[in-house]
């Protein structure tokens, strides 16, 4: 019994912290992947092209899951990957990230 109580006591902070995130709404600008990724999915489902600048920004995320959903979302919204691969290391991603930033800048100019 004492061993079970000790395990529950040690796990309590982790269990309580799980409940904190669940009550927040998905937000594409969040730093929390559990909030950002559902927001990316929602933006893509809604064909929300206003999310594209944030998706381009998130291609440089430290979190590979955020990078995966960002490039997947960009591909769905634009039909392009521009050679970006979410699993490449930071140095290998730089050229494709630059191509995305150049593409985004060109889109802004074209829409004026």
Q: Does 1 fall in a domain? A: no
At residue 7, the pLDDT reads 58
Q: Is the pTM of this model over 0.75?
A: yes
Q: Does 91 fall in a domain? A: yes
Q: Does 45 fall in a domain? A: yes
Q: Does 81 fall in a domain? A: yes
| Digit-coded pLDDT (tens) for 58-92 | 999 999 999 999 999 999 999 999 999 999 999 99
Give the total residue count for the chain.
112
Is residue 30 within 8 Å of residue 21, measured between CB atoms? no
Q: Does 7 fall in a domain? A: no
At residue 4, the pLDDT reads 57
Average pLDDT, the chain: 89
Q: Does 17 fall in a domain? A: no
What are 73's two structure tokens?
């979302």
Tell me the CATH number at 103.
1.25.10
At residue 3, the pLDDT reads 64
Region 18-30 average pLDDT: 78
Angle (CA) 83 41 87, round 5°: 35
What are 52's two structure tokens?
């594209």
Distance of CA 44 to the CA centre of its chain: 12
Share of the chain above pLDDT 90, in %: 76
Number of domains the chain is built from: 1
Q: Does 10 fall in a domain? A: no
Q: Does 8 fall in a domain? A: no
At residue 14, the pLDDT reads 56
Q: Could you tell me if residue 83 is left (phi over 0), alpha (psi between -120 and 50 degrees) or otherwise beta?
A: left
Domain of residue 50: give its range: 24-110
């Amino acid at each position: 019994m004492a061993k079970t109580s000790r395990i529950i006591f040690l796990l309590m902070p982790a269990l309580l912290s799980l409940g904190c995130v669940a009550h927040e709404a998905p937000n594409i600008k969040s730093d929390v992947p559990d909030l950002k990724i559902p927001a990316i999915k929602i933006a893509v489902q809604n064909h929300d092209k206003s999310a594209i600048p944030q998706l381009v920004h998130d291609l440089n995320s430290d979190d590979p899951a955020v990078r995966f959903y960002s490039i997947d979302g960009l591909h769905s919204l634009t039909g392009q990957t521009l050679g970006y691969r979410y699993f490449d290391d930071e140095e290998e991603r730089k050229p494709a990230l630059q191509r995305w930033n150049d593409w985004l800048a060109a889109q802004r100019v074209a829409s004026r």
